[in-house]
Chains A and B, each alone.
With several copies, the nearest count.
Chain A
């Protein structure tokens, strides 16, 4: 039984580490291919990264812009 436990532990280690490496190596290769295809076919004109602006931010900025604009108008009088 104890032998078996040790054997099981060895199995997990060897196969586990092997699969982690193989999988991430496959990912490295696939990522490389993916990036090359995209960079070749869709050369981007440096677009600003999306996905991180929440609607709140947008609203907030709009309101503040408006507030400042309004303030400036009054000062100009």
Chain B
């Protein structure tokens, strides 16, 4: 009988809190969007599934050994932990979890050893998160793979489009200001690190967003990643009205000069050039852009085809699976079901809108000062969201002028946007660390 009671107490129904139930529904919603609506399925299928796993009551898949011990341990164990933490009278287990997270590394080690001795272990998703994201490796490997898949030809044929990629990053910084504004107005409570991590959603680049928030605001990582990937999938809905509002029919009809052929030598040299500029001026962007350039060099140099092939296939696929599940581990109810998530979702879509607008306006500005006209529809591709945003530019271009194929022209600002948001990420990481450190 006691056994039956134990089993019942260990079963999900008994332990399920409303938060976990809600989060399982959120996970199912993400899966629905990914599978039926084709919202970035490569990421949102693992993220949604991981989110469900993280919220299975009693399974503790997303908790460390120490957290599991705090959640499931008896009062004797909790007392020992409170002693280690120097807490005389801890108000709640939740307060103790926060105290452990804030404790010096040596104390954390002690608590972990105590948990291990009591028979608790890390949850599966916690291990995935530690290895894939906390170490920083998964977003970087994805970036390497993206580099190996990127053709800089259109950008090299028309380097001016880098300005479009730069302008579109204004979405990032406007969002930082927005997040700060919400805090100053007392509506939300975002720190400067939170604000920076939220802003990066505007970069419209998943691995960059995950990398930055893992460093600056790990608690918000789940919401930020979900927002980033969802809005990337929504680019065909978000961008067109903004693009139409900011351009005249005449502008939308501009035909662009055909791009010149770009040779192998230029393609090989470009990633090295970018790397050297990073080395000289922006060391904090070195991990992201370094791996990106490395992937691209492997692609273009022509002598390591088997490595490039693996970086674009087996390696990026394996990493994507574990990255997605790890992001899902951050969809735990107590982190995600927070008013902050609403703020993040609202700010994220504003970020995309402002980025789109800035890109279009910059294209119009460039047309003022230069002879070879740019169709401002390709400005919106500067947000990155490769290759969706470029396709949107192409589609709107064809609507206005059925003979005007903008796709290749839009690939320039599109990949420029990847570089631009990695630069912005580097700047923000450095500045936030200086401010808070």
Direct contact of A and B (CB under 8 A): yes
On A, residues with C-beta under 8 Å from B are 2, 5-6, 8-13, 15-17, 19-21, 23-28, 30-32, 34-35, 38-39, 42, 44, 46-47, 49-56
In the assembled complex, B7 has its CB within 8 A of some CB on chain A? yes
Which B residues touch A6, using CB under 8 A? 180-181, 184
Q: In chain B, what residue has the closest Cβ to A47?
A: B264
B180, B195, B196, B423: the one contacting A19 at CB < 8 Å is B423
Pick out which of these stretches binds chain A: B24-32, B73-81, B294-302, B321-329. B294-302
Q: Are B269 and A34 in contact (CB under 8 A)?
A: yes
Chain B nearest CB: distance from A6 CB in Å? 5
Closest approach, in angstroms, between the C-beta of B40 and any C-beta of chain A? 17
Is the CB–CB distance between A16 and B424 below 8 Å? yes
Cross-chain contact B424 with A34 (CB below 8 angstroms)? no
* Chain B residues with a Cβ under 8 A of chain A: 3-4, 7, 151, 153, 156, 159-160, 162-163, 165-166, 169-170, 172-174, 176-177, 179-181, 183-184, 191-192, 195-196, 261-267, 269-270, 273-274, 277, 281-282, 299-302, 305-306, 308-309, 416, 419-420, 423-424, 427-428, 431-432, 435
Do the beta carbons of B282 and A10 come within 8 Å of each other? no
Could you tell me the distance in whole angstroms from the C-beta of B209 to the nearest C-beta in chain A? 16
Of B177, B261, B273, B299, the contact of A9 (CB 8 Å cutoff)? B177
| CB closest residue in chain A, given B173 | A13
Q: Is the interface of B mostly helix, strand, loop or mixed?
A: helix
User: Considering the chains assembled together, what is the distance between the CA atoms of A15 and B3 in angstroms?
Assistant: 8
CA distance A61 to B72 in the complex (A): 55
Q: Is the CB of B299 within 8 A of A52?
A: yes
Contact among A2, A12, A30 for B196, CB-based, below 8 A = A12
Please name all residues of chain B whose beta carbon is closer than 8 Å to the beta carbon of A19 when the two chains form the complex.
7, 282, 423, 427
Are the C-beta atoms of A12 and B432 separated by less than 8 Å? yes
Within the complex, what minimum Cβ distance (angstroms) separates A11 from chain B? 5
User: Is the pair B166, A26 in contact by a Cβ cutoff of 8 Å?
Assistant: no
Give the nearest-CB partner of B265 in chain A.
A38
Q: Return chain B residues, CB-CB under 8 Å to A20.
A: 166, 169, 420, 423-424, 427
Q: With A and B bound together, what is the CA distance between A26 and B3 in angstroms?
A: 21
| A49–B177 touching, CB < 8 Å | no
In the complex, are the beta carbons of A24 and B266 less than 8 A apart? no
